[in-house]
Amino acid sequence: MLTSRQELVLRKVVEGYLEGGAPVGSKALSVDVQWGPSTIRNELASLEEIGLLAHPHTSAGRVPTQAGYRYFVDRLLPSEDVGPRLSLSLVRRELDEAMRVTTETLSQVTNLLAIVTAPPIETSTIRHIEVLLLQPQVLMVVVITSTGGVTKRLFTFDRPVDPGLADWAASYLNERLVGLGLGARILQKRLHDPSLARSESDFLDALSPVFTELEDGAHDSLYVEGTSRLLRGDRVGEVSELNVLMDMLERRVTLLGVLQAALTERDVLVRIGAENEAPGLRSLALVAAGYGLPQRRLGTVSVIGPLRMDYGRAIHAVRDAASQLSSFIAEVYDER
């Protein structure tokens, strides 16, 4: 535990470094506090000795260590959110669009890389199917899910399609598949019936890829915005594992595992530097929160940035985005 004076000095150093990006010295600190430079230097030395501050050899000032950032986040940030509420405008949007709006807005507000994970595939069901004959040999299948997602797929046949067969397929597919979860194994089995005529069965086989692709495309979706904000020239020196992070963003599997940890947290998860197990995040900070239904978390909202980030703004923005996305999700799933 630090004394109140040490906590004030640490907070001033962290805030000064976050704002200016340069080491903070005793002279600069003495402007805002009642103690003289010598007293402040003693406290800076004490904070450095216990590992909360570091002393770059090129400067007389101090910078926060990862432990210093952690103490600042855990003990010195306001307990209540401060700052303006995010304006996400998610009402009457489809799930995919709502995820994109959340990700884009979060990245813009925090000036960080924002990542939102979609709800798991098994939480969405098929709501309606349309089979539309656009041209004699061209047909389009439209699948609408319970979360408002719309998938369209064009099919081209060697011969003209019987309009009656297309109408029959629409009725059959709605009767057999509506209400089934996208992740249900029974989905493909329900497409077929031994009593069907050969022409009907072959026609359904031709259309079946739209449902397979719908299942595959909905699995573990990530929405990412703001990668360029981490690649800015003034930040490259602060992020030593950029190549590994870019690989994580491309492969996504590891990143999904990292964000999964936020689903078990009551509030916002903050991991700073070496607290992150993934190598690509060792020089970065992660702020994440789960969103979903009261009885179940369905996905995560997160930002990733350099250690020198505005933690108060990031935590507030992530918590706010998760709350608004949860409200949106609750309304969408109530309509199922």
From first to last of the 336 residues of the chain, give the pLDDT tens digit: 899 999 999 999 999 999 988 999 888 888 878 888 889 999 999 999 999 999 887 677 899 999 999 999 999 998 776 666 777 877 667 778 888 999 999 999 999 999 999 887 666 778 889 999 999 999 999 988 776 667 788 999 999 999 999 999 999 999 988 888 765 566 777 777 888 899 999 999 999 888 766 655 544 578 899 888 877 756 656 676 677 777 788 777 788 888 888 888 888 999 999 999 888 888 899 999 999 988 888 899 999 999 999 999 999 999 999 999 999 988 877 644
Domains of the chain: which residue ranges?
Answer: 4-76, 95-120+220-334, 122-217
CATH of 4-76, one of 1.10.630.10, 1.10.10.10, 3.30.420.40, 3.40.50.12160: 1.10.10.10
CATH classification of 95-120+220-334 is 3.30.450.40, yes or no? yes
DSSP 118: P
The DSSP H or E segment spanning 298 is strand 296-306
Helices 4-20 + 37-49 axis angle, to 10: 90
CATH label, 122-217, candidates 3.40.50.720, 3.90.930.12, 3.30.390.60, 3.40.1350.10: 3.30.390.60
Euclidean distance between CA atoms 160 and 194, whole angstroms: 25
pTM: 0.76
Locus of tokens 């350099």 = 306
Q: pLDDT, tens digit, for every residue of 141-161?
A: 998 877 666 778 899 999 999
**pLDDT, tens digit, 9 for 90 and up, residues 198-255:** 999 999 999 988 876 665 554 457 889 988 887 775 665 667 667 777 778 877 778 8
